[in-house]
Amino acid sequence: MGAAIPLDARFNDAARPLFVSGMGTEHVGPLLYNMVRMTRPLRVLEVGLGYTSPFLAMALADNVEEDAADRRLLAEAPQDDMRFSLLRAEHFRREYAPRLHAIDDFSADGTSAPRVLETLQLLGLDGLVRVHKADFRGYAKKIDRADLPLDFVWFDAGGPLEYIAFLQEYWPLIAQDHGLLLLHFTYWNITAHYQGRDHTNLLCGSIANEIKRQQLRAGIAARFEVLSLVEPHKSRQGSVTMVRKLAGTSMCRDRDFGEEMNEIYGALAPPMPILR
Ligand SMILES: C[S@@+](CC[C@H](N)C(=O)[O-])C[C@H]1O[C@@H](n2cnc3c(N)ncnc32)[C@H](O)[C@@H]1O
């Protein structure tokens, strides 16, 4: 299987020149790659191009290869094959022909965004990607309706005002059926003065806080869940907040654990510890 050695030397040699240290995405690129590999999204959007772009595109290309191999295996149905035994046939009813829409207006100083297309061409990945040189604001209507709703979105462009503009326009376009939104730089290094001293801490920034607040205020009826990953060694560009929309199957069931286990497995379960 071609995807057995993901992100090989050829890939890294081609992607590395896009890396701009101040953008802080050295670990985000591989993280996005692996998340796209795991969740196999069909329709992907990136706003704010650079080092991360080839990782998203490569993940889609490797997914296509793995998906084709899985389909061949399903057709052969070798009963003693371990991979076959874990495949879920229902998933393969729909064709897998993913696309990445990548939007950047090339406005930031030092951005490698203008060189992304050339790198994608070098890697033979440009067929999966549509690069839009544009301001993302007011641009959603230009995305082909056939490429909506979005299954996976990576947003890394501008400051708080852009984040709000983005959420206003693009949140409704994210698939309710487990669409993922990843936002960069959501923890802020804030200095507060108290007791005669400056105290500097990495604080859950106002946008990530508001997303979390809305989730918690919705309680058991929340239609999304939130998690942030923070790089504690960085003062900026060191955090990713992930929001996952929830289909009915993933929404919280307000059921007692023991009762539900008994119903599903017909067996008494040990009590679940209370997590605090
Ligand atoms: C932090 S950089 C992206 C870094 C990139 N993800 C990487 O890994 O190297 C932010 C990018 O957003 C773009 N940008 C800023 N404001 C924008 C806007 N309103 N519309 C589109 N792109 C914008 C900039 O041109 C820049 O390339």
CB 181 within 8 A of CB 242: yes
Could you tell which of 100, 154, 156 is best to mutate to test the pocket of ligand 1, judged by most ligand atoms within 8 Å of the CB? 156
Residue 7 region, left (φ>0) first, then alpha (ψ -120 to 50), else beta?
A: left
What pLDDT does 1 receive? 46
HEC-encoded secondary structure of 181-223:
EEEECCEEEEEEEECCEEEEEEEECHHHHHHHHHHHHHHHHCC
pLDDT digits (tens, 9 = 90+) for 144-160: 999 999 999 999 999 99
CB 135 within 8 A of CB 92: no
Asked whether 135 lines ligand 1 (CB < 6 A), one says yes
Q: Which CATH superfamily is domain 1-176 in?
A: Vaccinia Virus protein VP39 (3.40.50.150)
pLDDT digits (tens, 9 = 90+) for 14-39: 999 999 999 999 999 999 999 999 99
- Cα–ligand 1 centroid distance for 74 (angstroms): 41
Asked whether 113 lines ligand 1 (CB < 6 A), one says yes
d(Cα 11, Cα 265) in Å, to the nearest integer?
Answer: 47
- Cα–ligand 1 centroid distance for 133 (angstroms): 11
Return the H-helix or E-strand segment holding 31: helix 28-39
Tell me the mean pLDDT per 10 residues along the chain, length 276: 72 98 98 98 98 98 98 97 97 97 97 98 98 98 96 97 98 98 97 92 96 98 98 97 97 93 87 93
| Segments making up each domain of the chain, as ranges | 1-176, 185-270
**Is the peptide bond preceding residue 41 cis, with omega within 30 degrees of 0?**
no
Asked whether 136 lines ligand 1 (CB < 6 A), one says yes
- Cα–ligand 1 centroid distance for 185 (angstroms): 12
The pTM assigned to this predicted structure is 0.96
CB 86 within 8 A of CB 30: no
Q: From the centroid of its chain, how far is CA 230? A: 15
What pLDDT does 5 receive? 67
